[in-house]
A and B are shown apart, each in its own frame.
Chain A
Amino acid sequence: MIEVQRKEIYRYLGYRKIQPTQQIDRMIDACMEQMEKVLEPKHNMVFYPVSFPEKDRIIIGPMHITSKGLYRNLQNCDQVVLMAATIGMGIDRLIRRAEILNMVEAAIYQAAGAAYIEAYCDQINQDLITAQKAKGKTCRPRFSPGYGDFSLSYQTYFRDLLDMPRTVGISLTESLLMIPSKSVTAVIGISSDEKIAEIQGCASCLQADRCMYKEEL
């Protein structure tokens, strides 16, 4: 069961702090009911040691990455987890059907889909944090290919190292987009030091000043 906060769906619909009308709320209820029937959450995780040959350069398994953002994120980490998660193909079909029958529902499914996959990732992330805490370790906020200067091209490594098509049913298009669309890949750094802020969210994003979907804290 994925616990989703209603306000997250509102946020992805562009509502910010405002409560939608009852009519829209009922539509969201109906859409969520349909979604729950077709959700197929799956995830896979693999541990890798991480090393830093020089500043802004990171080596994880066969990946040799140059990224200021990822380097900063993984400071003082000796291990990383490579993660892939999805809520399945069913939601993509619901969106496609809705685009034919009722555009409003399509927008709601998109927003709800985004809220669900993020909630699922938060759950998986939290489980990891708890497990690592028992070993006296902390986790960094998850960092995905495509964030900042961590190139999207590393998606092919994720696909191969996690055997994504077979283990979680995620494949890549020619332009490295994931299908099903509500899928996430990420690096989660693990460290023995006590740095806080494990799941960071909007505050750390470079687009924070001009985003209409930013969370209001």
Chain B
Amino acid sequence: MKTLLERLGKEWLFCDGATGTILQQKHLQGGELPETWNLDRPDDILDVYTGYLEAGCDIFNTNTFGANRLKFPDTLEDIVTAAVELAKQARRKTHREDAYIALNIGPTGKLLEPMGDLPFETAVDIFGEVVRYGTKAGADLVLIETMSDSYEAKAAILAAKENCDLPVCITNIYDAKGKLLTGGTVDSTVAMLEGLRVDGLGVNCGLGPLQMMDVVRRLSAVASVPIFVNPNAGLPRTENGQTIYDVTPEVFSDYMAQMADLGVQVLGGCCGTTPEHIRQTIAKCRNKPFHPITKKNTTWVSSFSDAVEIGKKPVIIGERINPTGKKRFKEALRNNDMEYILKEGLQQEQAGAKILDVNVGLPEIDEPAMMEQVVTRLQSITGLPLQIDTSNFTAMEKAFRIYNGKPMVNSVNGTRESMEHVFPLVQKYGGVVVALTLDEQGIPKTAQGRVDIARNICQEAQKYGIDKKDLVFDPLAMTISSDTSGAVTTLSALRKIKDELQAHTILGVSNISFGLPHREIINANFFTMAIQNGLSCAIINPGNEPMMRAYRASLALLDMDENCMDYIEAYATMPDDISGTAQAAKAKLPSDSDVTLQEAIERGLSESASLAMKKELETKEALQIINDQLIPALDIVGKGFEKGTIFLPQLLMSAEAAKAAFQVVKESMRGQPQQIKGRIILATVKGDIHDIGKNIVKVMLENYGYDVLDLGKDVDPQVIVDTAIEENIKLVGLSALMTTTVVSMEETIRLLKEKKPDTLTVVGGAVMTQEYADAIGADCYAKDAMATVRYADSVFQ
């Protein structure tokens, strides 16, 4: 008898239909967990299985959709084992030993961190447990279903691959617009799933067969592994409190017959379908021409929400998240200043980067931990795919594992050691790899030499099942100041890799000008030449106007900008007198240039505040400016806020302007000891994730000269106390929105009094009142950000 993999993708296979629908017919109550019937009503579950087997399906699901330790802390193994045992029994009873038992795994119902509060590794653990029980009991494959979040899908797939050797297939739930709940498209999802090497993928639930066809067409256009399609019997409607799906077996199967022509390989049903739906579908589809899935040659990288194609036109990769040669960035890494790092990312996105390079390699910090933190935070605020840039293999593995999508990774090279470390990671987690054309002998002097290394890397990658389409070759831009033929060699290598190898290329463009004056002139022109020689990706600073000009002009000239639209949009409204960077051009607004520092802060004008501060620093001492102009301006705004004549947005704008002015001061005072009034811990307490109030307080405190240790939200009392002791902090600010979390606040204060009694506490948040504050033993109740600042001033007198 053939195994599943011998048949999957080579001939029509059919899945079963709904389990829940049948159980509801057998009076499953609303809110009752269907998996309990594996133990309490096994005959009914046997009925469900035999119904579908007799209808003719090839793959049928165990009744374990919601079976995990969150819902079944004590009986999980029994439930899963029973589900598989009953499936085996059903097979014997119906003489369908040819059918395959799919261990069915559905979502946990909880959202993964950082959007939700379920840690990624915990999710992997939860799924892993189910996979172990199901495999032990004898399932033939793992079928992960109804995943609406790409991150949870990844956790489930890793769990399956790390806990069994069975085939792993997955279907996601897309909405009518073809998107996952957490934002993924078909393209971005397929890119990730194929990187994780699933044996089959597709779509189930959410839509009826007619509504699902657009998604299916897109799957067929981009996927390279067999496609599963399991629609609902139409869209649900409620009648007398019951959920009804009213597409009949006849209509359903007619649609599925149309579906069969779309280039899919496995058909079945989801909510609302019954054995009759499946029977008729099989009858109408079994003899239709079968088309195996074709391998697609497109190169994708993806984030949780978007896929970026490499190869159609050059892709800009933002280079700014990198400490090399950047004092300010190094400082941010040492101080764990996430805001600065993330801001660099978002600003590059706004300037036109399509992928962000992430390099946090600094000897004195814990690179793997920092990489994990930065990748996690970045992927929660931007939909741009990331390029994991590190030579630390531990950091690389960490990043690969927690990355939500299919990343780019920088880099592998032609040395044995590098390939042996990097390729296994790409094999396991999926990704597009930047491959440097150097090996144990170093960097070849000739273009041909570099192309030969590229060829070797290609062959080695094949051994790990890594396709040429997932490699991007960097023929290395060596500075012309030390070798004047450097650029010619690189350009020739680009051309050869494109034409002879038919592979993608990438360059860190600015390396070409190291040591020369006005590097941007060389860089921009080299960029143009490289694009003409087939460059697929460029690692540059998208905020650098000369580079972006070279980029847009090249694309327009090489017919890669339809109707020259991007070029026109970028430059049509630019004034004739062109200068330096894009930011400088924007800042020269006549109305802003004559504003005093005080006025700029009161009116909340950040650009003007920076300019005014720069001017003031020419003639006065920083501290004098801060005390005579900046603080008084903030005080005026603050008093207005307290009185109710100035409102929150204006307060925040003034705070932003003051922050911009302070940034100028910090830059000018680099190397000198900082004037800090005091250090304060801020945290939103355990159980609470509302933090905008705390963040506003932080901005105000920093403006008034305090160093804030922001511990974030949902913070354990012990963490707050430990930090207070370790850093010897005199004042702790706690925030909570809900009455239920005041308890955590109380606990935190109690612990602080016990372990570090000399520390004072100030509390705030929408739920907080003077009465509550007194009751829980806080030293001060602050009704808003300004009150907190006033109290801090009184404490640090």
B648 interface neighbour in A14, A61, A96, Cβ under 8 Å: A14
Interface residues of A in 113-131 (CB under 8 A from B): none
Residues of chain B at interface, number, CB under 8 A: 50
B647 interface neighbour in A15, A95, A102, A110, Cβ under 8 Å: A15
A64-72, A154-162, A185-193: which lies at the interface: A154-162
Q: Are A100 and B647 CB-contacts (below 8 A) given A46-B241, A110-B692, A161-B31?
A: no
- Decide yes or no whether A152 CB sits under 8 A from chain B: yes
A157 interface neighbour in B31, B604, B692, Cβ under 8 Å: B31
Is the contact region of chain B dominated by helix, strand, or loop, or is it mixed? loop
- Decide yes or no whether B663 CB sits under 8 A from chain A: no
Please indicate the chain B residues that have their CB under 8 angstroms from the CB of A99 in the complex. Answer: 692, 695
Would B382 and A107 count as touching, CB distance under 8 A? no
How close is A53's CB to chain B, nearest CB, in angstroms?
Answer: 19
A20-28, A135-143, A197-205: which lies at the interface: A20-28
Cα–Cα, bound, A106→B648 (Å): 11
- Decide yes or no whether A39 CB sits under 8 A from chain B: no
Please indicate the chain B residues that have their CB under 8 angstroms from the CB of A47 in the complex. Answer: 238, 240-241
Q: Mask for B566-607, Cβ within 8 A of A = 1, else 0?
A: 000000000000000000000000000000000000001000
Would A174 and B117 count as touching, CB distance under 8 A? yes
Cα–Cα, bound, A104→B110 (Å): 31
Cα–Cα, bound, A28→B238 (Å): 39
Would A173 and B342 count as touching, CB distance under 8 A? no
Would A104 and B117 count as touching, CB distance under 8 A? no
Would A165 and B183 count as touching, CB distance under 8 A? no
With both beta carbons as reference points, the residue of chain A lying nearest to B341 in the complex is identified as: A100
A101 interface neighbour in B346, B652, B692, Cβ under 8 Å: B346
Q: Mask for A87-114, Cβ within 8 A of B = 1, else 0?
A: 0011011011101111110111010000
A103 interface neighbour in B109, B110, B655, Cβ under 8 Å: B655
Would B649 and A108 count as touching, CB distance under 8 A? yes
With both beta carbons as reference points, the residue of chain A lying nearest to B239 in the complex is identified as: A47
Would A18 and B689 count as touching, CB distance under 8 A? no
Q: Are A179 and B241 CB-contacts (below 8 A) given A21-B650, A27-B649, A157-B31?
A: no
With both beta carbons as reference points, the residue of chain B lying nearest to A99 in the complex is identified as: B695
Q: Mask for B143-180, Cβ within 8 A of A = 1, else 0?
A: 00010100000000000000000000000010100000
- Decide yes or no whether A55 CB sits under 8 A from chain B: no
How close is B270's CB to chain A, nearest CB, in angstroms?
Answer: 11
How close is A31's CB to chain B, nearest CB, in angstroms?
Answer: 10
Cα–Cα, bound, A158→B151 (Å): 25
Please indicate the chain B residues that have their CB under 8 angstroms from the CB of A161 in the complex. Answer: 30-31
Residues of chain A at interface, number, CB under 8 A: 52
Would A103 and B183 count as touching, CB distance under 8 A? no
Number of A-B contacts (CB under 8 A): 121
Cα–Cα, bound, A47→B237 (Å): 12
Would A165 and B109 count as touching, CB distance under 8 A? yes
With both beta carbons as reference points, the residue of chain B lying nearest to A160 in the complex is identified as: B31
Cα–Cα, bound, A40→B174 (Å): 13
With both beta carbons as reference points, the residue of chain A lying nearest to B605 in the complex is identified as: A23
- Decide yes or no whether B244 CB sits under 8 A from chain A: no
Cα–Cα, bound, A171→B261 (Å): 37
Cα–Cα, bound, A124→B688 (Å): 28
Please indicate the chain A residues that have their CB under 8 angstroms from the CB of B445 in the complex. Answer: none
Q: Are A106 and B692 CB-contacts (below 8 A) given A18-B647, A89-B181, A175-B741?
A: yes
A179 interface neighbour in B107, B116, B604, Cβ under 8 Å: B116
- Decide yes or no whether B221 CB sits under 8 A from chain A: no
Please indicate the chain A residues that have their CB under 8 angstroms from the CB of B347 in the complex. Answer: 101
Cα–Cα, bound, A189→B1 (Å): 59
Q: Mask for B717-753, Cβ within 8 A of A = 1, else 0?
A: 0000000000000000000001011000000000000
Q: Mask for B88-127, Cβ within 8 A of A = 1, else 0?
A: 0000000000000000000101110001110000000000
Cα–Cα, bound, A18→B553 (Å): 49
Chain A positions near chain B (C-beta within 8 angstroms): 13-15, 18, 20-21, 23-24, 27, 40, 45-48, 61-62, 89-90, 92-93, 95-97, 99-104, 106-108, 110, 146, 152, 157, 159-161, 165-166, 169, 171-177, 179, 181, 210
Interface contacts beyond A103-B696, A175-B740, A179-B111: sample of 8 additional A-B pairs, CB < 8 Å, sorted by A: A20-B649, A23-B653, A47-B238, A61-B31, A89-B183, A97-B382, A157-B31, A175-B714
A-B pairs with beta carbons under 8 Å apart, 6 shown = A15-B647, A61-B31, A106-B695, A152-B738, A171-B111, A181-B689
